[in-house]
């Protein structure tokens, strides 16, 4: 829907556990649905966060929320591995590991996801640098309470942290889905970003017909 007086398209995303939080991939996918605004660049408000969406051939890019409060922060819990942390409309912990494939993410991630240093918990992402500007990533998402094929906000914060640690502002991230997303950004000395764009493929998987009772609950 349009937000009165702003010209923005408004989106709400619910996680699998019924909670609401900003979802970049959900926002990217939404502009491919029937009834979405037309045009190459779309202003939107997704779960209260101001974003931009753009179509790039068969891919969709999103400019992540920016400004006061958004960016890299100090890692809130003690870590033995090299790690970063950021706020991007949700909290994201990024941990560098030698091999994402060899890691038992189901054992590694939950203690960090539920760590007392992060009230409400955090998403957990592990990254393996393959080459300058290229890395693999796996993500364990709160709300889902499991590994997902691609966490867009996790990829974005991971790329921002890698930009700081590796000195490169553009990254290709190989996700658990086998697909690649690209991230470009500007990062200042304090860890705040500007023009953080994540771009990746979006494709139609079919049509879902919700139970009518669920539609009634959404309208209340």
- Residues 146-189 have pLDDT tens digits of 999 999 999 999 999 999 999 999 999 999 999 999 999 999 99
Residue 1 binned pLDDT confidence (cut-offs 50, 70, 90): very low
pTM score of the predicted model: 0.90
Domain boundaries, the chain: 71-201
- Residues 21-78 have pLDDT tens digits of 889 999 999 988 888 888 889 999 999 999 999 998 889 999 999 999 999 999 999 9
Both tokens of 54, joined, read 């753009």
- Residues 87-98 have pLDDT tens digits of 999 999 999 999
pLDDT at 122: 97
Residue reference for tokens 């930009």: 163
pLDDT at 33: 82
Output 4 or 200, whichever has higher pLDDT.
200
Mean pLDDT of the chain: 90
Q: Provide the CATH number for the domain formed by 71-201 in this structure.
A: 3.10.310.10
- Characterize 41-66 residue by residue with b for buried, 16 or more Cβ atoms within 10 angstroms of its Cβ, and e for exposed: ebbbbbbebbbebbbeeebbbbbbbb
Q: How far is CA 156 from CA 74, 182, 206, in A?
A: 17, 9, 27
pLDDT at 35: 83
Residue 5 binned pLDDT confidence (cut-offs 50, 70, 90): very low
Query: Is the confidence at residue 3, as pLDDT, over 70?
Result: no
């Amino acid at each position: 829907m349009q937000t009165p007086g702003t010209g923005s398209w408004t989106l709400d995303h619910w996680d699998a556990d019924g909670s609401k939080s900003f979802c970049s991939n959900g926002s990217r996918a939404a502009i491919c649905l029937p009834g979405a605004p037309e045009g190459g660049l779309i202003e939107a408000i997704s779960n209260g966060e101001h974003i931009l969406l753009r179509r790039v051939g068969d891919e969709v890019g999103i400019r992540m929320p920016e400004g006061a409060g958004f960016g890299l922060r100090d890692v809130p819990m003690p870590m033995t591995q090299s790690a970063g942390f950021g706020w991007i409309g949700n909290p994201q912990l990024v941990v560098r590991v030698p091999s994402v494939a060899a890691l038992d993410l189901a054992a590694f991630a939950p203690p960090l996801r539920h760590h007392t240093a992060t009230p409400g918990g955090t998403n957990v992402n592990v990254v393996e640098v393959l080459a300058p500007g290229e890395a693999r990533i796996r993500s364990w998402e709160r709300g889902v309470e499991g590994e997902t094929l691609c966490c867009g906000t996790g990829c974005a914060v991971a790329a921002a942290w890698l930009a700081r640690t590796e000195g490169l502002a553009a990254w290709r991230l190989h996700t658990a889905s086998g697909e690649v997303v690209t991230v470009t950004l500007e990062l200042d000395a304090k860890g705040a970003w500007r023009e953080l764009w994540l771009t990746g493929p979006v494709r139609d998987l079919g049509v879902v017909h919700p139970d009518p009772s669920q539609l009634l609950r959404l309208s209340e």
